[in-house]
Each structure stands twice: as structure tokens, then as C-alpha cells.
Amino acid sequence: MIIGVDTGGTFTDFIYKDGDKWGVYKVLSTPSNPAQAVLEGLKYLSVGKRKQIVHGSTVATNAILERHGARTALITNKGFEDIIEIGRQNRTRLYDLAYRKEPHIIPSELRFGLQGRILQTGEALNPLDMETAKDIALHLKQLDVESVAVCFLFSYVNPDHEKKVKELLEPYGFQISLSHEILSEFREFERTSTTVINAYVSPKMQRYIGYLTDNLDPGDTLGIMQSNGGSISVETAMRESVRTILSGPAGGAVGAYEIGKMAGYTKLITFDMGGTSTDVSLIDNDLSLTFESSISGYPVKVPMIDIHTVGAGGGSIARLDEAGALKVGPESAGADPGPICYGKGDSITVTDANLYLGRLIPEHFLGGGMILKDGELPSYFENMAQKVRLSSLELAEGILDVANTAMERAIRVISVERGYDPREFTLFSFGGAGGMHAAFLARLLSIPKVLLPRDPGILSAIGMIMADVIKDYSLTIMRNQENVTSTFLSDQFMEIEERGRQDLKSEGIPDDGIVLEKYLDMRYEGQSYEIIVPFDGHYIERFHALHEKTYGYRNEDKIIEIVNIRLRARGVPEKPRFQKSEKRVKAPPSDAFLGEKDVVFDGNRIPTKIVARDNLRSGNRLEGPVIMVEYSSTIVIPPFASAYVDEYGNIIMEIMTE
């Protein structure tokens, strides 16, 4: 069996392929130990069968957000111990006069400096002080340090000093992260920060993955999803855990890209609304990568799919602030206690508002596997509505409007603010809660079409089993165009190309499944940031054109600097294929209609058909209003929309924009 697993804040999702049979499964997440829900689902799905599993994990992310990582120390050049705290001059709250940074995850008493200096040429100016290094190693053991980040100046040119420190530390049993292995690039603050984050989360990830693999059946294989949209082996994930920080959302973006391309849509805005948060990304013929991410304020300069997240999900809590204004999120009821309608919660959530308005069908939630309890909702809504002098229905629609506005802003950040017109894109909606909000969001942004794939609630898991195995490498060379040639650059790539091939072979990829993609980080001399340009015979002209597209101008008289070379080594495994239906019938079959109920739209109760998605066929067309139920999600087709089923079983919703 091939199985994709995505751990979310509320549910843990499974997609599996057993021979020609596809299936999905969801269980409530177990926040205290996420592995329990994963193992419970695997046991339920595949007793006695050999499994090939790809897993997206939130363990590394949560370790940083909750500050529950390993006790970590930093060893660097003497005089540079505080670089991770000094950082750069950027401020997230520029006009907050009382702003104070949170204490760093590595306190000052766990930062150590060593005499010794490598120059930018790679030459050793001063030897490493090995006697002091021995004293530091003993001291770290006394301080119960578990993990050590080692980051010296210009180690990306000559890593000799970092390797010597590793040799010294290894006998003490520390987990060790070397900056030249994690991020072989200049900008010492970002390199140090990325290495520190890796050291901080790796021991926790190692224990989590170790627990999973110890409880898998003999013959099972496990791969881990990365933030860059590819998977890696468990050995690599335990060693370079920083690469897994946004693995769940990355799986969703990969799934959207692959399914959208299959269905003929290459310009997509992905909208992943889960229980805790909403993730959005823009796909313009290809997945967009970023190298400038941060998590909880810490720069993480590894390749990640460019995803923007807001704290608005199905479990987001509605409340009144000090001035009596309605707020939704970022606090979430999560899986425990969950929304009021789950039976244990006592705070109104977005899910409760949808149920109260009739947009969720209690007996069809999770295919009837979990019955929602709506009996107590009226008293909660009436109580809050009195405080804001609204009717309870106005309050419920207001909660959804506030949540939709937060998600609209997120989409504008990745589209309008970067020069893209949302009207030229299709909204690709997934996540357990996405289908209830997608049409309203599309209307706010004047997006004409919404694509909802099969099993949208588990699309991130689908993306994981469709992902390539990807390894990213980089190296700073810092050369201007006057003293560099294509031949020189090709020679620079040779060593990391060979490393990429060997690493992919160790992941089980055959030679004919390996694709190597080369890029250059380029800028005009004097600039602070680079543009990533594909490396071919026209890389200079490509840079000018991309610079003009990004910043609105080009300067061909200015000298160009090539800062880094990048290699993306891609292993393309055999991927599952989706069946295409040729049969096209406009009228839905009678067994697709489950009944009718009144649903609230714009303050009015409107008779609305309830339709079972699984009984629809290719070509079927529906006019709103319709509530469409399926195992992993509920889809709301409001009065201003219609929908049809395409040849791959996707729902294509057409929006009458205002």
C-alpha cells in the first residue's frame, strides 16, 4: 500500500492506494504525541500489508512555536557569540515604543566563542584554539546540553574548523549541526540562525521519527515531506530537520499543482483552510519557492514553497475584544476541546457558525462517522449576539465574514501586492473547511472559478504521495560578470552535481529518474538581495528580464554579481495516476440528492438541496444553492454560484462576481 499522512492541528489525514483502489481516512489528532494518531490510522488501514509511507509532520514547527526543542548550545568565532540575538535592524512592529524581543531559544550562557579565523579566500588566518574547545565540550556536558550548532565565518569556503570541532564533540554524544552542511552560503546571521534552528529541532524530530519507525511493520518504508515540496529519507530528515518545518502545507501546494495541471489549470491560487489556520500560495505555471522565510521571528534560509499563513480555520474562536468588536482567531479550539458542536468545547468557532447557519449537515460529517451536536448552539449564539446588539443569525454570518476577510487579505499579500491579478487565476480550494468558504472568498476577489478536487480535506496527504524526492544545494561564489564565464560556472556546479546524484541514489532513485536543475542567485552590484535565475547560455539576459518584471526596471550598464550557485536534484519516482472519465451527463442521478433544508444566506433562509458528491458523475451540473457532502469536507455552493463535475471528478464552481 502507498499511504500519505498529514498531521494537522485538528485531524490527521490519510490517503492510500491499495492496488487500483483509492481510499481516505481521518482521525482526530493527538497533540500530546502526534505519532499516536499516525500509528492508529496506519493500523486501521493496513493490517498485515507492506506500506510505503510519506509523512508530513508538524513536530519541528511546533517545537519552535512552543519553544520545546532540545537544550542547544552555539559554538562560533570569538566575538560573534551574540550575532543570533543582534540580528538585523528589521522590526516587525516599527512604531511600538515598548517593543521587546522575546528571549532567544539559545540563552547567552549557552553561546561560546573560539579563537581562530578563516578568511573569505578560504585561507586560515588564525588556527583554531583546540584547548579551549576541549574545555567547552566538557562544560557543555555538565550543562546537560543535547544539541550543538557550530557556525564559523566563511565556513562555506573552507569548513576545516567546523569539521575539527565536530570531531572533538562526537565522543560526548551531542547531536551536531554544522553550518556548511546545513546552509553553505554567505550572510552569517541567516546561516547561523538556520543552523541553530536545525540543532534545536533535530533531537525532537529524531525521537519522533524513531518512535514511528520502531512501531512500523517489517518491510515498511517511511519518507518525510520537506518544505520545498519534495520528500526525503528519515535519515536525512533526522539530520536536517529544519527542512521539514512547513512540510504539511507544502504537501497541499504540491497536490494542488499536480491535480491542477492534470485538469488543465496552471494559474492557481491555492486556498487550504484547515482546523487551525489557512495557508495560501500562488502557482503561475510552477510552484513558487522562497529563500527568505522565518518562523517565530527566526530566519530560516532553506528553500520553501512560498506559503502565507493566517490564523483563521474551522476551529478559530470568535470573541469580542475590549472595545466590543468581533474578532475571529488566531486562537483555535483545535482537536481538544474542539468546537462546541464536537461535544466538549465552550467557545464559538467558525465551524459552529457554519453549522448554526445550516451549512454543515450534522449527520453527514466525516461520512456519518462523527455526528455533530447542534442542540446547545442557540444559547451560545444568543448570549454573544445580545452583547453586540445583533440577531444570532447576523452574528453567525458576521463571524464568517470576519474570517473570510482575514483570508482575503492573505490572498492579496501573495497576489495583488506582488503584481498579480487574482481575476486571472483559479482558486484551488482544499482543506476540511475550505469548501464552505471558497465561493465567498472568490466573490470578494472577483475570481471567476473555484476548483475543488476529490477528497479536498486530505489533499495535503495526496500531495505527499505525488511529490518528487528533492535535494537542494547551494554554494556562495561571489563573482561579477566581468570575471566569470559559463565554463567556470559549469565547473563550479560539478562537485554539487555529483553530490546530488549520490544523495538521490542513496534515497533509492535510479539514474534514469534523476533530474538536475541549475540556478544562479544574481543581483546588480551594490544591491542587497538576489533574484534566482535558471542557469543556461542566456543567464545575463534572463536576469535583466526578471529584474524588470520584479522591480519595473533594468540597468544594462550596471555590473551584475553572481552570488550563489544552486542545484535542485530531483528524483522522479513512479507516481499514482488518477482515472479520467469519458462519460459526460448533465443531469445528476436521482441518488445524488439526499433531501432539502433551509440554509441562511445574506440573512434569508433559502431552501437548499443536499447532494452526495460521491454519487455525482462527470458532466453533472448543479445550480446554487446546494450543500454538497462528502467524507473529508462539505462544499457550499451559494445562490450566486453554479458548479459542474469535470472528467477527473473535480468540482468546478463558477462565480457570478459582483
Residue 579: DSSP 8-state: P
Find the CATH number of the domain harbouring 25: 3.30.420.40
316 lies in some domain: no
296, β-bridge pairs: none
**Nine cell digits for residue 388:** 453586540
Predicted confidence (pLDDT) at residue 582 exceeds the cutoff of 80? no
Domain containing residue 552: 469-571
Interacting residues of 418 by C-beta distance below 8 A, sequence separation 6+ = 282
Query: What integer pLDDT is reported at residue 102 of this predicted model?
Result: 84
Identify the domain boundary among 522, 544, 571: 571
Predicted confidence (pLDDT) at residue 576 exceeds the cutoff of 80? no
281 lies in some domain: no
490-535 confidence digits (pLDDT tens) = 999 999 999 999 999 988 888 888 999 999 999 999 998 899 999 9
Query: What integer pLDDT is reported at residue 66 of this predicted model?
Result: 80
- 5 vs 34: CA distance, rounded Å: 11
648 lies in some domain: yes
402 lies in some domain: no
Say whether both 186 and 213 belong to one domain: no
- The pLDDT of 343-370, averaged and rounded, is 89
State whether residue 253 is helix, strand or coil.
helix
Predicted confidence (pLDDT) at residue 653 exceeds the cutoff of 80? yes
Identify the domain boundary among 544, 571, 598: 571
100-142 confidence digits (pLDDT tens) = 888 899 999 999 999 999 999 999 999 999 999 999 999 999 9
Say whether both 607 and 553 belong to one domain: no
Q: Which helix (H) or strand (E) holds 8?
A: none
Say whether both 85 and 179 belong to one domain: yes
291-316 confidence digits (pLDDT tens) = 888 888 889 999 999 998 888 888 88
Query: What integer pLDDT is reported at residue 658 of this predicted model?
Result: 59
Query: What integer pLDDT is reported at residue 442 of this predicted model?
Result: 96
Mean pLDDT, the chain, rounded, equals 91
Give percent of the chain with pLDDT exceeding 90.
Answer: 65
403 lies in some domain: no
Say whether both 478 and 540 belong to one domain: yes
Say whether both 13 and 132 belong to one domain: no
Asked whether the beta carbons of 55 and 464 are under 8 A apart, the reply is: yes
Asked whether the beta carbons of 232 and 243 are under 8 A apart, the reply is: yes
321 lies in some domain: no
**Tally of domains within the chain:** 4
* Phi, psi angle pair for 23, to nearest 5°: -155, 160
Say whether both 564 and 597 belong to one domain: no
Find the CATH number of the domain harbouring 135: 3.40.1360
Predicted confidence (pLDDT) at residue 335 exceeds the cutoff of 70? no
Say whether both 555 and 473 belong to one domain: yes
445-494 confidence digits (pLDDT tens) = 999 999 999 889 888 888 898 889 999 999 999 999 988 999 999 999 99
Which residue bears the cell 487551525? 276
Nearest Cα residue to 649 out of 584, 576, 594, 587: 584
CB-count burial class (<10 Å; 0-12, 13-18, 19+) for 555 = exposed
Say whether both 50 and 99 belong to one domain: no
41-91 confidence digits (pLDDT tens) = 999 887 778 888 999 887 888 888 788 899 999 999 999 999 999 988 877
Say whether both 190 and 77 belong to one domain: yes
Which residue bears the cell 550563489? 564
Say whether both 42 and 13 belong to one domain: yes
Helix axes 188-214, 34-45, angle to 10 degrees: 50
Which residue bears the cell 445562490? 639
- The pLDDT of 390-406, averaged and rounded, is 95
Query: What integer pLDDT is reported at residue 432 of this predicted model?
Result: 85
218-239 confidence digits (pLDDT tens) = 889 999 999 999 988 899 999 9
166 lies in some domain: yes
327 lies in some domain: no
- The pLDDT of 402-409, averaged and rounded, is 94
Say whether both 535 and 488 belong to one domain: yes
Say whether both 99 and 181 belong to one domain: yes
